Amino acid sequence: MAEEMKKKEEYVLECHGISKAFGGTQALKDVELLVRAGEVHALLGENGAGKSTLMKCIIGLHQQDEGTIQFEGKPYSVKGPVEALNAGISMIHQELNPEPHLSIAETIFLKREDTRGIFLNKKAQNERAEEILRKFDFPHSAKTLMKELTLAQMQMVEIIKAVSCNARLIIMDEPTSSLDSEETEHLFRTIRDLKSKGVAIIYISHRMEEIFEICDHVSVFRDGTYVGERSMEGVTRDELISMMVGRKVENVFPKTDCEIGDVVFKVEGLSGKGFEDISFEVRKGEILGISGLVGSGRSETMRGIFGMDPITAGQMYLEGKEIKIKKPSQAIKQGICMVNEDRKNFGLALHRSIRENMALPTLPLKQKAPLLNKKQEEKDCLDMGKMLTLKAASIEHEAFSLSGGNQQKVVLAKWLLANPKVLILDEPTRGVDVGAKSEIHSLMCEFAAKGMAVIMISSELPEVMGMSDRILIYHEGKINGEVKREEILSGDENQESILRRAFGGK
């Protein structure tokens, strides 16, 4: 009896036999999850394996069809996130959903406002928020509106919000997907601190290095089923991947060398908000990597080139001819396409079908007749879906019903279908699982080999280093150095030397 009591105490959270279906899709089938007090528990699985769904069941956004959840030894059932928070569980969501017109303070204290009688105590609330933000070295005041923040900063606010409400279990669903190494390090310090206070954390990520760095145990899901649990000590990366995928993923960065041709695209002295005097060129068949900290002007430059933000100075040349781009439609017409890092705001129409999303940018190009040729469109979408290992019941389903990683694949598909001359990718594999990542990387090489010029921004150093022919390193809006593939292969340049440049060193 006492023995049993003790065993129960050990786990803060116990999920047994959880099943959940959405219409015809069985997202979870009889899965288990046992989380010990004060540990960081990783949850690993391919895109669409059911990770986020289980987490949403735990905080009451979904109700499981079957199965039981116990929290701190007691049966637990909540109707929504507010109740879950009161019970001691908070969550950082994979898909950020900020209210653009709220301030940071209002976001942090949403639904648990500081009140005096019926009035909001704004002053006290702002002060408390400032204090919390200071602890995280956050660069904005608590009164800043959410819409003024970058994606990474929104993610930080979400993290700050979740850790600031004294939860005893914090769920982190891909918290680092848009953070750079410095911010990630900051998050890890916070996690260690929370851990020492006895807070348990469920950590979902597709970045294996992170899981090895921060987690104690790992549970693996595959296709909505539970594969098993391992202690991080003694388990290998390959073992985890084969548990996840059911097969071996051979080559993580399948970079193939292809012939690099003439200059396709060139910019000279480009300036705009957040970047200054940027010059570079990219050639046929080349993959140009762009590294640097979040906010260093990488994304801003690309948004400028693609016509999403104004450019104040400088010229752009496509195949030797000067071009002017004021809005994305002009860029697309010229053959320059861009995958935006923020798939929710700039990538997808979430309530429309996968098919409509994929076909949107190429409608003027491919559909010349008055009525749509849906047969051809369907074929294109299915082929591209297959290439990207998209997991969806049908292409007629709405985009919001896809898991995060699969939504990312739809965004990629939409631009790959356009078959542009210059493809700009801003964090192309954000939230994509290991297997699919390597598929996407091979596709990038394939498209490059066909003569496309690829520009890839990535906060994941191994990705940029593994895939690029050349890497530009940004620091505070300027290019601070360039590294060639040969220099990486020969060992003259490495992770440290690139990071040093990203921080402004030589």
Q: Which secondary-structure segment (H or E) carries 331?
A: helix 328-334
Please tell me the distance from the alpha carbon of residue 299 to that of residue 394, in angstroms, as a whole number.
33
Residue of 251, 256, 329, 376 interacting with other proteins (CB under 8 A): 329
Q: Please list every residue from 8 through 27 that binds ligand ATP, using CB under 6 A.
A: 22, 25, 27
Is 21 an interacting residue with respect to other proteins (CB under 8 A)? yes
Query: Residue 160, Cβ neighbours under 10 Å: how many?
Result: 22
Rounded-to-integer distance, Cα 349 and Cα 399, Å: 7
Which of 19, 90, 94, 164 is in the footprint of Mg ion by CB under 5 A?
94
Provide the phi-psi class of 92: left if phi over 0, else alpha when psi is between -120 and 50, else beta. beta
* Residue 299 interacts with ligand ATP (CB under 6 A): yes or no: no
* Residue 45 binds ligand ATP (CB under 6 A): yes
Whats the size of the chain, residue-wise?
Answer: 506
String marking each residue 404-443 x if it binds ligand ATP according to CB under 6 A: xxx------------------------x-x----------
Residue 214: closest CA among 205, 223, 222: 205
Q: Which tokens sit at 95? A: 């898909």
Q: Is 107 in the site for other proteins (CB under 8 A)?
A: no
Strands 89-92 and 11-22: unpaired
Distance (Å, whole) CA 183 – CA 472: 20
CB of 178 to Mg ion, least distance (A): 14
Listed ranges 255-263, 283-291, 326-334, 423-431: which one lies at the site for other proteins (CB under 8 A):
326-334
Q: Which does 25 bind (CB under 5 to 8 A by kind): Mg ion, other proteins, ligand ATP, none?
A: ligand ATP
Q: How far apart are CA 145 and CA 241, in angstroms?
A: 41
Binding mask 289-318 for other proteins (x = CB under 8 A): -----------------x-x----------
Residue 50 Cβ, how far from ligand ATP at the closest point, in Å?
A: 4
The set of residues, in sequence order, having a beta carbon less than 8 Å from that of 219 and lying 6+ positions away, is: 32, 33, 34, 41, 42, 43, 44, 226, 228, 229
| 164 touches ligand ATP by CB under 6 A | no
Q: Which CB, 95 or 319, lies closer to Mg ion?
A: 95
Residue 22: CB atoms within 10 A of its CB come to 13
Q: Is 52 in the site for Mg ion (CB under 5 A)?
A: yes
348 binds other proteins (CB under 8 A): yes
Find all residues with CB under 8 Å of 46, minimum gap 6, and list them.
222, 223, 244, 245, 391, 405, 433, 434, 435, 436
Binder of ligand ATP out of 35, 92, 332, 402 (CB under 6 A): 402
Residue 29 in contact with other proteins, rule: CB under 8 A? no
Minimum CB distance to ligand ATP smaller for 314 or for 404: 404
> Is 327 a binder of other proteins (CB under 8 A)?
yes
Which residues make Cβ contacts (< 8 Å) with residue 433, sequence separation at least 6? 45, 46, 47, 49, 206, 244, 245, 405
Q: Does 205 bind ligand ATP (CB under 6 A)?
A: no
Count of residues touching other proteins (by CB under 8 A): 47
d(CA 159, CA 60): 19
Residue 312 contact, options other proteins, ligand ATP, Mg ion, none, Cβ 5-8 Å cut-off depending on partner type? none
DSSP H helices, 215-318, are 237-245, 298-305
Q: At CA 285, angle to CA 283 and CA 289, rounded to 5?
A: 70
Q: Going residue by residue from 396 to 425, which x/- string records binding to Mg ion, judged by CB under 5 A? A: -------xx---------------------
CB of 55 to ligand ATP, least distance (A): 8
Reference 496, options 478, 476, 479, 473; nearest CA is 473
Q: How far is the CB of 313 from ligand ATP (least distance, A)?
A: 40
The CA-based dihedral angle spanning residues 378, 381, 386, 390, taken in that order and rounded to the nearest 10 degrees = -120
**Interface mask (CB under 8 A) for other proteins, residues 413-432, using x and -?**
-x------------------
Q: Does 296 bind Mg ion (CB under 5 A)?
A: no
CB-wise, 123 or 374, nearer to other proteins?
Answer: 374
In the bound complex, what is the minimum distance in angstroms from residue 25's beta carbon to other proteins? 10
Is-contact 3 40, C-beta < 8 A? no
| Contact call for residue 161 and ligand ATP (CB under 6 A) | no
Residues 6+ away with beta carbon under 8 Å from 434: 46, 206, 208, 241, 244, 245, 249, 252
Query: Mask: binding to other proteins, 433-472, rule CB under 8 A, as x and -?
Result: ----------------------------------------
Number of residues binding to Mg ion, judged by CB under 5 A? 4
Q: Write out 262-288 in H/E/C secondary structure.
A: CEEEEEEEEEECCEEEEEEEEECCCEE
The torsion defined by the Cα of 448, 181, 149 and 107, in degrees rounded to 10, comes to 130
Stretch that binds ligand ATP, among 44-52, 228-236, 418-426, 471-479 (CB under 6 A): 44-52
51 touching ligand ATP, by CB under 6 A: yes
Name the site residues for other proteins (rule: CB under 8 A): 21-23, 56, 61-68, 75, 77, 97, 306, 308, 327-329, 331-333, 338, 340, 345-352, 356, 359-361, 363-364, 367, 370-372, 374, 400-401, 414
Name the site residues for Mg ion (rule: CB under 5 A): 52, 94, 403-404
Name the site residues for ligand ATP (rule: CB under 6 A): 22, 25, 27, 45, 47-53, 94, 391, 401-406, 431, 433
